[in-house]
């Protein structure tokens, strides 16, 4: 019985005694009996409350404290290995910068030149694929950029792999293709009558056409990607002069990075991915995950690995891992950039991050044993792929970012007996954040916003990772990331309807924000020194995202 019922019992017994006096007259015996009953009830209530308190103390000390302490220790261990991985990758990048280990110095590279006798026939045949699905706003940009690349027209085939279901988009693509065909470009469109396998299914079928058999290499550009004219001239020589190289990957740059705060923070995360993760993998192991676009493949390497596979939503990473396990090398070119568009709507970004976290976790589940039993690569490379590439970067970092900084640290205000060391909550996160911002120096002043926003997005990444590892219901969900093209022009030329408050609310972010805010107030009331300041900021970040005040 709760302690709060004791005053109610006292009022109840007092009222009965008063009514007895009013209707039956004064009786010392009745008054004494009422008093004795009141004392007995109070003693019973106090005894039950003490029993509840005793059970709670026992449960807290024997169950909750050990479990929470174990979770804290686990998070501290993951913090150390994530920091060591980040430090190692940045040390490799420092080594690359100091010794100027550019790919042109590591691999053989010579500019392509026409032969005096045979003309451009010494150039390899290159297939350029542009996969798209109802890309109404951007298909013209990508087709125009690809058709403007510097490469002999007789040695280039442009293939628009169009899975669009919108008749307006299909008609627009046909008109654009006809325009470039009239200018002498060998461009054609390939369509299917289904969407089986999504992008992987379309790409696999597109490579089966007869004219593809004469091509040596295939470059892939998603519908919003715009390569520079010299892209092929700079990338293809690595494949021509190095027969053990299967993939040359360019770095992404973003045409709308300054659109809003959300795109600025995305730029910080993706710059770190390319400039640190991709380049360190290329330098130390000649392996990294294909980004699905802005890369050139050796077609024979794709065929040797079994081609495109649609078993996960990260068909690009799946292909890269299988090709890498066949012993091929990958080259990342940090100086070769391709423009593209970042999602500027929060909902679109959430769907993208779900796919980018769920897919790798599901692929990790499906390929771990295949990697272990592989005999074509060294044990060191297998260890790198399983431990560093998959476990640390695709699984552990998401769980650490969300569960430690958004669940364990806030909950610690209820367990003052357990001390979380400062190095795990201040020093290590600060160093990792500095490592990330070094890839985008112009955004250094946004580091605090970036930390808070990354913690919010870690909730969706952790959820996606769990679904991928457990093969949950949304494991194969594929939502095409919405592109807007020239966003500023669109906002000026049309009225954008405002969503209602209910439509803008993201319930998961709001609920987590409420919990962290409650922990912040509890910490403030009970005198925690610095923790509640961080909790108030993090709760605010969840509320800003939860009520839709982020993105365009």
> How far, in Å, CA of 145 to CA of 140, rounded?
8
pLDDT of 502: 55
Catalytic, out of 162, 163, 222, 318: 163
Rounded to an integer, what is the distance from CA 418 to the centroid of its chain? 32
In the residue annotation, 316 being an active-site residue is answered as: yes
Q: What is the pLDDT of residues 189-208, one digit of tens each?
A: 999 988 889 999 999 999 99
- The contacts of residue 189 (CB under 8 Å, 6+ apart) are 159, 160, 162, 173, 174, 177
Q: What is the pLDDT of residues 448-492, one digit of tens each?
A: 999 999 999 999 999 999 999 999 888 888 777 777 765 444 443
Tokens representing residue 136 in the block: 């109404």
Least-confidence region, from 63-67, 487-491, 527-531: 487-491
pLDDT of 22: 47
Average pLDDT, the chain: 88
Catalytic, out of 162, 222, 224, 316: 316
Helix axis angle, 261-272 to 346-372, nearest 10°: 20
Backbone torsions φ then ψ of 335, nearest 5 degrees: -85, -10
- Kind and range of the H or E element at 466? helix 447-470
Tokens representing residue 204 in the block: 């696999």
Least-confidence region, from 2-11, 184-193, 198-207, 372-381: 2-11
> How far, in Å, CA of 391 to CA of 78, rounded?
11
Place of tokens 């993090």: 538
Residue 6 has pLDDT above 70, yes or no: no
pTM score of the predicted model = 0.88
pLDDT of 37: 66
Residue 170 has pLDDT above 80, yes or no: yes
Q: What is the pLDDT of residues 468-478, one digit of tens each?
A: 999 988 888 87
Q: Between residues 137 and 496, which one has the greater pLDDT?
A: 137
pLDDT of 50: 82
Least-confidence region, from 27-36, 68-77, 211-220: 27-36
> How far, in Å, CA of 24 to CA of 30, rounded?
10
> How far, in Å, CA of 340 to CA of 226, rounded?
6
Residue 2 has pLDDT above 60, yes or no: no
Instruction: Encode burial over 268-300: b for 16+ CB neighbours within 10 A, e otherwise.
Output: bbbbbbbbbbbbbbbbbbbbbbbbbbbbbbbbe
Q: Of the candidates 153, 216, 138, which has an alpha carbon nearest to the alpha carbon of residue 187?
A: 153
> How far, in Å, CA of 431 to CA of 274, rounded?
19
Query: Looking at residues 50-65, what average pLDDT do you find?
Result: 86
User: Do 355 and 302 contact (CB within 8 A), yes or no?
Assistant: no
Query: Looking at residues 114-118, what average pLDDT do you find?
Result: 73
pLDDT of 528: 61
Backbone torsions φ then ψ of 260, nearest 5 degrees: -160, 175
> How far, in Å, CA of 338 to CA of 255, rounded?
10
User: Do 539 and 522 contact (CB within 8 A), yes or no?
Assistant: no
> How far, in Å, CA of 162 to CA of 222, rounded?
11
Q: Are strands 156-162 and 126-132 parallel, antiparallel or unpaired?
A: parallel
> How far, in Å, CA of 16 to CA of 377, rounded?
87
What percent of the chain lies above the pLDDT cut of 90? 73
> How far, in Å, CA of 400 to CA of 72, rounded?
11
> From the CB of residue 135, how many other CB atoms can be counted at a distance below 10 Å?
26
């Amino acid at each position: 019985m709760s302690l709060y019922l004791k005053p109610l019992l006292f009022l109840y017994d007092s009222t009965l005694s008063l009514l007895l006096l009013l209707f039956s007259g004064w009786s010392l015996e009745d008054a004494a009996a009422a008093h004795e009953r009141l004392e007995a009830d109070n003693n019973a209530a106090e005894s039950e409350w003490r029993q509840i308190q005793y059970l709670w103390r026992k449960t807290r000390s024997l169950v909750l404290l050990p479990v929470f302490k174990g979770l804290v220790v686990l998070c501290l261990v993951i913090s150390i290995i994530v920091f060591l991985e980040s430090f190692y990758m940045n040390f490799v990048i420092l080594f690359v910068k100091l010794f100027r280990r550019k790919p042109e110095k590591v691999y053989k590279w010579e500019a392509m030149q026409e032969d005096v006798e045979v003309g451009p026939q010494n150039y390899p045949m290159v297939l350029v694929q542009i996969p798209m699905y109802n890309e109404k706003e951007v298909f013209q940009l990508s087709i125009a950029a690809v058709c403007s690349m510097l490469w002999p027209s007789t040695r280039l085939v442009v293939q628009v792999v169009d899975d669009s279901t919108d008749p307006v988009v299909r008609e627009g693509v046909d008109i654009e293709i006809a325009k470039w065909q009239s200018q002498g470009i060998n461009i054609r469109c390939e369509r299917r009558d289904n969407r089986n396998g999504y992008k992987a299914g379309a790409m696999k079928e597109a490579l089966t056409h007869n004219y593809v058999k004469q091509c040596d290499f295939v470059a892939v550009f998603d519908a919003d990607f715009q390569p520079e004219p010299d892209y092929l001239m700079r990338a293809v020589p690595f494949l021509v002069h190095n027969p053990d190289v299967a993939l040359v990957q360019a770095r992404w740059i973003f045409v709308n990075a300054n659109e809003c705060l959300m795109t600025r923070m995305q730029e910080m995360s993706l710059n770190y991915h390319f400039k640190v993760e991709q380049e360190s993998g290329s330098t130390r192991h000649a392996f990294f995950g294909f980004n699905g676009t802005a890369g050139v493949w050796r077609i024979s390497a794709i065929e040797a690995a079994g081609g495109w596979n649609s078993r996960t939503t990260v068909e690009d990473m799946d292909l890269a891992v299988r090709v890498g396990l066949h012993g091929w090398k990958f080259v990342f070119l940090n100086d070769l950039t391709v423009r593209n568009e970042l999602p500027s709507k929060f909902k679109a970004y959430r769907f993208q991050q779900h796919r980018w976290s769920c897919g790798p976790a599901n692929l990790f589940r499906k390929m771990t044993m295949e990697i272990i039993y592989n005999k074509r690569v060294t044990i060191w490379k297998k260890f790198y792929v399983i431990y560093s590439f998959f476990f640390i970067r695709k699984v552990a970092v998401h769980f650490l970012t969300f569960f430690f900084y958004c669940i364990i640290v806030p909950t610690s205000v209820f367990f003052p007996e357990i001390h979380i060391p400062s190095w795990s909550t201040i020093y290590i996160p600060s160093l990792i954040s500095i490592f990330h911002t070094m890839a985008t120096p112009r955004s250094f002043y946004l580091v605090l916003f970036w930390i808070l926003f990354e913690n919010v997005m870690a909730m969706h990444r952790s959820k996606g990772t769990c679904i991928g590892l457990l093969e949950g219901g949304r494991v194969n969900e594929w939502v095409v990331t919405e592109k807007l093209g020239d966003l500023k022009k669109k906002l000026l030329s049309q009225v954008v309807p405002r969503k209602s408050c209910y439509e803008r609310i993201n319930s998961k972010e709001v609920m987590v924000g409420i919990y962290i805010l409650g922990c912040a107030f509890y910490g403030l009331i009970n005198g925690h020194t610095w923790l509640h300041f961080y909790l108030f900021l993090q709760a605010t970040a969840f509320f800003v995202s939860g009520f839709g005040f982020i993105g365009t």
